[in-house]
């Protein structure tokens, strides 16, 4: 009998699988397809202080080994998420969920987390620092160790719940940013977010996505994710939520050996809505194949 349980920032999960924010809606939509309580947890749709319509269409472009998206954090705003979306999730999901939070200023991050902190069944905050800082010249919060630490410290002051900072791979040195988040009081880091990419339509000779560039995700980015998780694991003492190109139980084991405590499944959910469930059901087979009795024992096992 294998043991798939892991502990993330003090909260036990039945298994390490968490659908990634932006690929699973607010969760309840998938409950029409299967019992989502099989999941370790879920990271619900990125939430901002004010409602956002998102970027103009087209927002999605397919690639050979993945996809580009420039949805632009479309969401109804934190007040509606609390009043309308989370009660629907609560009816079908009986475990702690992960609140993915985005902001375009320090004040927005703080106020969004402060409001969501009142929701009892939120277990963790996943703070996405890949957003442009509107008061800081438009540079992403996640591209500077100083800004990453500032956001972490500010959010830390308004919640006692675990804070997991979601890191951008579009940087020269992700390790220094992870260390800055740890110094700022983060309880964990999640990585990697999408890589910046672009597609051009050969007939129109123009970018396929209206936003021109988008976030590249899918199987092609997994080697980058494995490398960055491995590097960050060596540099910090806080847990890592790994993601990037995960579509099989073997991928989960690989990211955990690199250093991940839990693993998010992203683009695979958009290809196959049962992807996260199927990976969970297949984990015992993969564990037995590689002689793994407990997933907790293999975290960072490649070091």
Domain boundaries, the chain: 6-53+73-197+216-298
By the 8 A CB rule, do 269 and 23 touch?
Answer: yes
Q: Over 80: is that where the pLDDT of 145 sits?
A: yes
Rounded CA-CA distance 183/188 in Å is 11
pLDDT in tens, 44-96: 999 999 999 999 999 999 999 999 999 999 999 999 999 999 999 999 999 99
Q: Over 80: is that where the pLDDT of 281 sits?
A: yes
Average pLDDT over residues 270-282: 98
By the 8 A CB rule, do 25 and 48 touch?
Answer: no
- Bridge partner residues of 165 (DSSP): 127, 189
Q: Please state which CATH number belongs to domain 6-53+73-197+216-298.
A: 3.20.20.70
DSSP 142: G
By the 8 A CB rule, do 49 and 28 touch?
Answer: no
- Please classify residue 234 by burial: count the beta carbons closer than 10 Å to its beta carbon, then call 0-12 exposed, 13-18 middle and 19+ buried: exposed
CA distances from 131 to 58, 86, 134 (A): 20, 23, 9
Residues in the chain: 303
pLDDT at 275: 98
What's the token pair of residue 50? 């004010």
Sheet holding 260-265, edge to edge: 17-19, 260-265, 240-243, 188-191, 163-166, 122-128, 97-101, 43-47
Q: Coil, strand, or helix at residue 225?
A: helix
Report the Cα 103 to chain-centroid distance in Å. 15
Up-side HSE of residue 215: CA atoms within 13 Å toward CB? Answer: 22
Catalytic residues: 131
Rounded CA-CA distance 63/130 in Å is 22
What's the token pair of residue 194? 């999408």
H helices within 202-274, ranges in order?
Answer: 222-235, 249-258, 267-271
Mean pLDDT over each residue of the chain, to the nearest integer: 97
Q: What is the pTM of this model?
A: 0.97
């Amino acid at each position: 009998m294998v043991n798939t349980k892991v502990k993330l920032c003090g909260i036990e999960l039945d298994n390490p699988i968490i659908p990634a924010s932006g690929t699973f809606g607010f969760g309840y939509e998938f409950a029409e397809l299967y019992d989502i309580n099989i999941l370790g947890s879920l990271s619900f749709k990125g939430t901002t202080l004010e409602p956002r319509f998102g970027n103009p269409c087209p927002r999605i472009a397919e690639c050979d080994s993945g996809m580009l998206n420039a949805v632009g954090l479309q969401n109804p705003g934190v007040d509606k998420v609390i009043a309308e979306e989370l009660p629907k999730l609560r009816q079908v999901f009986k475990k702690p969920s992960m609140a993915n939070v985005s902001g375009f200023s320090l004040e927005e991050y703080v106020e969004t987390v402060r409001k969501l902190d009142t929701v009892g069944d939120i277990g963790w905050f996943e703070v996405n620092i890949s957003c442009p800082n509107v008061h800081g010249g438009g540079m992403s919060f996640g591209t500077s160790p100083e800004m990453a630490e500032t956001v972490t410290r500010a959010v830390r002051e308004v919640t006692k719940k675990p804070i997991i900072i979601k890191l951008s791979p579009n940087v020269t040195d992700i390790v220094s940013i992870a260390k800055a988040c740890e110094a700022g009081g983060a309880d964990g880091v999640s990585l990697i977010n999408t890589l910046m990419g672009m597609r051009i339509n050969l007939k129109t000779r123009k970018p396929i996505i209206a936003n021109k560039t988008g976030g590249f995700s899918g199987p092609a980015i997994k080697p980058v994710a494995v490398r960055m998780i491995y590097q960050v694991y060596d540099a910090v003492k806080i847990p890592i939520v790994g993601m990037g190109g995960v579509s099989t139980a073997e991928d989960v084991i690989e990211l955990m050996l690199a250093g991940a405590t839990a693993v998010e499944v992203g683009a695979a959910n958009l290809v196959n809505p049962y992807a996260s469930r199927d990976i969970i059901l297949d984990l015992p087979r993969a564990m037995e194949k590689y002689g793994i009795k407990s997933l907790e024992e293999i975290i960072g096992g490649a070091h």
